[in-house]
Amino acid sequence: MSTLPVYVGLDYHQDSLQVCALDPVGKIRCNRPCPNDTDVLVCLLDGYGAAVHIALECCTGAADLAEDILLRRPRWSIDLAHPGYVARMRQNPDKTDFQDARLLADLERVGYLPRVWLAPENIRELRRLVRYRQDLANQRRAVKLRLRALLRDQRLRPPADVRAWTKRWWAWLAEAPLSEQGQFLRQCYQRQLQRLAEDIAEVEQRLRQVTADDPVVARLRQQKGIGEVTAWTLRAEIGRFDRFRTGKQLARFCGVSPRNASSGPKQADAGLIKAANPALRAILIEAAHRLARYEPRWQAFARRLRGKGKPGSVIAAAVANRWIRGLFHTMRSAA
């Protein structure tokens, strides 16, 4: 068996894989379809050498395939690639499986592959739960918006001293003079909200069980301003804090760093960077609002920015940026 390295690009599909293997000088050893079966793939690649370096776009099912391959061939190396950045590197308007697999193999060969972290199975499982809970919360928010739109449509307002979604508000809503169809829709929305609340409570209880012995979650819960949902989201989306080199790098991953839009003598910011997980960024912005409201250090920081005329959204982003960078130094030693 050859000891020379072989560089493999895998274009992933649910039922098949396009496999491109290159030698160290970029010559194609093969570029052919293969069933999406780990045993078949390993048998195919075994024929090209012992030093196999695989590039695989990060998509649904890719992480499980990578772990299956490493389980059978621990000496091989597998890198997950960022799909968005790989697409920008494609210099051909056409798109075929043959070209995609070749590009991945070539980027792996020259060391330009835009890598993403291969999260272990326990983190991927936690992500599924956290994202399911977030989906339920989004559904609940949508139902609440539809209910308030119904009230606006029928020109109904609660008393000034009644806060929305409290018991008094629900008691007022039950007696509100809605139309016949409005009453029907109000009952439908209430049932949906009750069902969603039960589903969210169920998944939150599951999350408590799953993370009961997680030292990172326990350490996150000890930090001021971090509740259960924030801790679960940070653990699921960040995984390990020590995989980042600096707090600034973590802040960019979380999407709370300003995006530079400089050109020549012009120096400007263009809002927050866009390449980030929206749910993770939203959680951090919510935490920043709480910190700026209740924590003396962040109250003073927010007050200084407000004195300079900064709007509330910019202040929250600045607090989130500073806070997550500080959290990095606290958490990077956690397992």
- Reported as type and span, the H/E element at residue 206 is helix 180-210
DSSP label of 159: -
**Nearest of 199, 58, 186, 216 to residue 139 by alpha carbon:** 199
Q: Which residues pair with 266 in a beta bridge?
A: 263
Ranges 171-175, 225-229, 261-265: which has the least confidence: 261-265
- Position 205 scores a pLDDT of 97
Q: Which residues pair with 263 in a beta bridge?
A: 266
The two three-digit tokens of residue 261, written as one number: 């839009």
Instruction: Give pLDDT tens digits for 51-96.
Output: 899 999 998 889 999 999 999 999 999 999 998 888 888 777 778 8
Give the start-to-end residue ranges of the domains of the chain. 6-116, 121-210, 217-331
Nearest-angstrom CA–CA distance, 304 and 209: 42
Whether residue 183 has pLDDT greater than 90: yes
As a CATH number, domain 6-116 is 3.30.420.140
- Up-side HSE of residue 108: CA atoms within 13 Å toward CB? 30
First-to-last alpha carbon distance for the chain, in angstroms, is: 39
Q: Which residue has the higher pLDDT, 266 or 332?
A: 332
Instruction: Give pLDDT tens digits for 280-311.
Output: 999 999 999 999 998 999 999 999 999 999 89
Using an 8 Å Cβ cutoff, are 52 and 45 in contact?
yes
The DSSP secondary structure of 240-277, one letter per residue, reads -GGGSSSHHHHHHHHT-SEEE--BTTB--EEEE-SSS-
The two three-digit tokens of residue 279, written as one number: 């749910």
Statement: the pTM of the whole predicted model exceeds 0.75? yes
- Position 273 scores a pLDDT of 78
The DSSP secondary structure of 42-79, one letter per residue, reads HHHHHTT-S-EEEEEE--TTHHHHHHHHHHH-TTSEEE
Query: Which of left, alpha, beta for 32 (phi over 0: left; psi -120 to 50: alpha)?
Result: beta
Instruction: Give pLDDT tens digits for 108-135.
Output: 999 999 998 989 999 999 999 999 999 9
**Nearest of 127, 6, 118 to residue 71 by alpha carbon:** 118
Q: What is the CA radius of gyration of the chain?
A: 25
- Position 17 scores a pLDDT of 94
Average pLDDT over residues 320-327: 94
Average pLDDT over residues 184-202: 96
